[in-house]
Amino acid sequence: MKNRDGYFGEFGGAYVPEELEKVLSELENAFFKYIEDEDFKKELRYYYREYIGRPNPLYFAKNLTEENGGAKIYLKREDLNHTGAHKINNAIGQALLAKRMGKNRIIAETGAGQHGVATATVCALFNMDCTIYMGETDIERQSLNVFKMKQLGAKVVAATNGRKTLKDAVDMALEDFVKNSEDTFYLLGSAVGPHPYPVMVREFQSIIGQEAREQILKKEGRLPDYIVACVGGGSNAIGLFNPFYDDKDVKIVGVEPAGLGIETGEHAASIGKGIKGIIHGFKCYSIQDEDGKDLPVYSIAAGLDYPGVGPEHCFYNDSGRADYVSVTDSQALEAFQLLCKTEGIIPAIESSHAISHGVELAKGLSKEQIVIINLSGRGDKDVRQLMDIL
């Protein structure tokens, strides 16, 4: 397996206190053991198929393609997964690993609540004890997801430090993990954090790209010209991108949130505007000042406003394998409405960032070319917020 040591060029690693080192090395050993284990792989495939509903379609967006002119646009339909997004792919994988490790208590952090809901879902499925850390501010903003998590049997604990958002929830989860590592598994929600999380989350999410690659070969008899995905922490994107890494003719584009506009400072474009630094125990591009203090980030999409980004993306950027661009709130809103009207698909506002750029890109290409856009999730969770805006 690639990046077994936890480094992607100079990025990644595990910059953590000693107590955490021990816990992470136990996790690392278990992960590398089970990911090669036939029984484990069989069980994972079973839940992907029977519970999540995989493989989901690689859908040819004919109306959108015709209206847009230019390249053929295909959508990878992660929005059709159980719970409505890609996050469940990773949650199932990590929960199965926790079971193999004999840990029956799961903890997780959540910002907008999507990862919290995915985690609470798998804990209900596997009858595991579940605690979700969530910033106090986010608990107020995301009451619907808090309600769901509670119905699914999770305890939701408020993080009351700092700005009372995602970063503070992660800090609390890490603290809990160190203290209770005997029986506790920290189920992290994106391709970030100290080693082995970025590698592990990528492996569980790479089913997206594996399927897409097989599906496009079957439908078109060739690989796409471009693959496009939105980048928050970077898990849906790396899940799509990684299986195409060696296909050098396939161009890879990650789309970061430009918020109110890069020039306003109100954004979360970690690769575009960040500096190299350490956040949550790993090295990446992140939005922080020269002293390493995290600065506030903003996006209309709650799932994208994280100050750091997965180390594999930082490496793809610096090595030139992928390009990273950004899309503003208002461009994402336009793409949201466009997909609703042309295809009858209500996308998540996070995914709408990828759609916006993918559609623009396709416009400038010829009719023979192919663009795959990852539709990371459905927009049901966003309609209340968007109702007030649109």
Ligand X SMILES: *Cc1c(COP(=O)(O)O)cnc(C)c1O
Q: Which residues are catalytic?
A: 87, 109, 376
Please, which residue, 76 or 99, has the CB nearer to ligand X? Answer: 76
**CB half-sphere exposure, 324, CA atoms < 13 A:** 28
Distance CA 157, CA 11 (A): 31
Of 181 and 236, nearer to ligand X (C-beta) is 236
Q: Pick from 81, 114, 145, 206 the residue near ligand X by CB under 6 A.
A: 114
- Calculate ∠ Cα 319-324-329, nearest 5°: 165
Q: What is the closest distance, in whole angstroms, from the C-beta atom of residue 39 to ligand X in the complex? A: 28
Residue 1: CB minimum distance to ligand X, A? 20
Residues of this chain, 349-368, that bind ligand X according to CB under 6 A: 350-351
Our finding on whether 377 is near ligand X (CB under 6 A) is: yes
d(CA 228, CA 151) in angstroms, rounded, equals 35
Stretch that binds ligand X, among 6-14, 138-146, 157-165, 230-238 (CB under 6 A): 230-238
Told to check if 142 binds ligand X by CB under 6 A, we report: no
Query: 312 is written with which tokens?
Result: 């594999």
Residue 256: exposed, middle, or buried by beta-carbon count in 10 A (0-12, 13-18, 19+)? buried
- Tell whether residue 119 is a contact of ligand X (CB under 6 A): no
| Residue 386: Cβ-neighbour burial (10 angstroms; 0-12, 13-18, 19+) | middle
Q: Contact between 190 and ligand X (CB under 6 A)?
A: yes
Nearer to ligand X, 82 or 105 (CB): 82
* CA distance linking residue 110 with residue 248, whole number of Å: 35
**Cβ partners under 8 Å of residue 175, min gap 6:** none
Among 85, 132, 139, 240, binds ligand X (CB under 6 A): 85
Q: What is the DSSP letter of 303?
A: G
Nearer to ligand X, 178 or 332 (CB): 332
Q: Which is nearer to ligand X, 234 or 274 (CB)?
A: 234
Q: Give yes or no for residue 230 binding ligand X (CB under 6 A).
A: yes
Report the residue number whose CB is nearest to ligand X: 377
Examine residue 233 and tell whether it contacts ligand X (CB under 6 A): yes
Identified binder of ligand X from the candidate list 89, 215, 235, 326, rule CB under 6 A:
235
- Separation between Cα atoms, residue 367 and residue 34, nearest integer Å: 44
C-alpha dist (Å) from residue 121 to 51, 75, 83, 200: 11, 25, 8, 20
Interface residues with ligand X (CB under 6 A) are 85, 87, 114, 190, 230-237, 303-304, 348, 350-351, 376-377
